[in-house]
Amino acid sequence: MEHAHEESGMHRALSATNLTTLGIGAIIGAGIFVLTGQAAAQYAGPAIVISFIISGLACLFAGLCYAEFASMIPISGSAYTYAYSTLGEFMAWIIGWDLILEYLFAASTVSVGWSGYMVSFLKDFGLSIPPQYTAAWNSVLVDIPKIGWKPLTEQLSASLSASGIAVDSLPHVTAILNLPAMFIIAAITILLVIGIKESAGFNNVMVIIKVFVILLFIGIGFFFINKANWHPFIPPNTGEWGHFGWSGILRGSAVIFFAYIGFDAVSTAAQEAKNPQRDMPIGILGSLGISTVLYILVAIVLTGIVSYTFLNVADPIAVGVDAMGKGLFWLRPIIKIAAIAGLSSVVLVMMLGQPRIFYAMSKDGLLPERFARIHPRFKTPYYSTILTGSVAFVLAGILPINILGELVSIGTLLAFAIVCIGIIFLRVKRPELERPFRTPFVPLVPILGAGICLIQMYSLPLDTWLRLIIWMAIGILIYFTYGLRHSKLKHPDHPKK
């Protein structure tokens, strides 16, 4: 299987446990602390549990396909590399361009959520940051409540509300920069440049904190469930597609799919894994399985403690704690600490993944060679890490990335569907290749994975599709004006610059 990649020079420091916690770090964040309650309140009611199962199944099928590719092609690049090796360079570029949305813009957006929780947490201790330094530009923020792009519109508005900033009053606030969001981006960028081992160690600590607190909430919450809150389990449709009923469950599954984004980030660290053929499938499937179980349990407990109609708030988990009574109010700041830890690890893994995709694309000649530079001391792709961090730093400081919310989800769903199709294609084209991990029940599993992803894409609004087409058009233009002329596949003897 021809490919332009070569030995990277990166440190192989990640074990199967590290890879699993990287995946959990990416998955468990804004989804479990914000989207669970909001999607229940707006789309599915208590049946948000079914929405999580639908999205979880799509990710399970896609994860099984990722695991086979990761064991066969243990190099950085995630779905981009898999598409390159099976479907050709052009399709690989499309996937790589897609993944920029997933990692770069998701990191910027989650950092804004991190800012909201951090400001709210500090406020509990009497430490206040001036509102003008915790919000983006007024011209963007004022319009947030009027825009229907979800789920990140609600996440951002909710995060600002959690910070003590009334969205409706934003015209009276002279917003300058979101300094806390910029701070976490800068800190994570420095950590990622210093080394993958240090980054993984930080992520492990964050994952332990948030998983412990989530388990604490589930364990205590089971004793406060009121079964009456689960009736009706599937609220009747309001007459509008996507608002309760079965269409609401499907819309909810597409919206909360954002909560699952990130498990594929495990595959971007393949060249830093100690034993990628064995450990990559463990990391991908292990993190996905653990996170899915936690999501479902939190959804069951949360909608059992509080009526779903009260969960369209910034901090639905904290609302659940309040409903348990004043005796458990001590748990509220702990929930915020877990949210801060959770969002920190999501930002880290998103920003870890993007430079490694740039690295893979550069090694194939589709991006300038500097994107593949490895730091002589730290053995990390420092140039692309600093570039990614710089762009995310600016975006986090001045823009709420609400417009790209569903675009992030639809782009990732497209990437997952192509990976599933790639498994079938490669089984037919190259059946003799060694596969340390084999996706079971081919072609059924890949067909189901691609099918569920495409159905979820179909359930998203038309304007989301239009924005995806525009983004893809920009990517195609770059490919034909730069990538194609410098491709090592088309020009294997192309001189280095």
Check residue 13 and give its pLDDT.
Answer: 67
- In 10 A of CB 108, how many CB atoms? 27
Average pLDDT over residues 454-470: 84
CA angle (178 as vertex; 131, 255 as ends), nearest 5: 105
Distance between CA 381 and CA 189 in Å, rounded? 11
More confident residue, 406 or 252: 252
Average pLDDT over residues 48-75: 84
Averaged pLDDT of the chain: 78
Helix intervals (H) in 269-369 = 276-305, 316-323, 331-363
> Quick check: pTM over 0.75?
no
- In 10 A of CB 128, how many CB atoms? 12
User: For the ranges 13-17, 114-118, 384-388, 401-405, which has the lowest average pLDDT?
Assistant: 401-405
User: Quick one: pLDDT band at residue 136, thresholds 50, 70, 90?
Assistant: low
DSSP letter for 273, please.
B
More confident residue, 342 or 140: 342
User: Quick one: pLDDT band at residue 403, thresholds 50, 70, 90?
Assistant: low
In a domain, 53, yes or no: yes
> Residue 151: is the preceding peptide bond cis (ω within 30°)?
yes
User: Quick one: pLDDT band at residue 171, thresholds 50, 70, 90?
Assistant: very low
* 3-state per-residue secondary structure call for 171-194: HHCCCCCEHHHHHHHHHHHHHHHH
Query: CA 106, 111, 112, 116 torsion: positive or negative?
Result: positive
Distance between CA 266 and CA 76 in Å, rounded? 10
Average pLDDT over residues 375-398: 85
Contacts with 398 (C-beta within 8 Å, 6 or more apart), sequence order? 136, 137, 177, 178
Average pLDDT over residues 345-357: 82
Average pLDDT over residues 136-157: 40
Check residue 268 and give its pLDDT.
Answer: 65
In a domain, 55, yes or no: yes
Q: Is 7 exposed, middle or buried (0-12, 13-18, 19+ CB in 10 A)?
A: exposed
In a domain, 34, yes or no: yes
Tally of residues, the chain: 497
In a domain, 165, yes or no: no
Alpha carbon distances (Å) from 11 to 95, 194, 296, 375, 472: 26, 12, 36, 11, 34
Tally of domains in the chain: 1
Q: What are phi and psi of 489, to 5 degrees?
A: -70, -40
List the domain range (segments joined by +) for residue 237: 16-104+177-396+408-486
pLDDT higher than 80, residue 273: no
Residue written as token pair 């991006």? 367
In a domain, 403, yes or no: no
Find the helix packing angle between 276-305 and 48-72, rounded to 10°: 170
Q: What is the pLDDT of residues 9-52, one digit of tens each?
A: 556 667 778 888 878 877 887 677 767 887 888 889 999 999 98
More confident residue, 188 or 401: 188
In a domain, 170, yes or no: no
Contacts with 254 (C-beta within 8 Å, 6 or more apart), sequence order? 55, 409, 413, 456, 457, 459, 460
Domain containing 351 — which CATH number? 1.20.1740.10
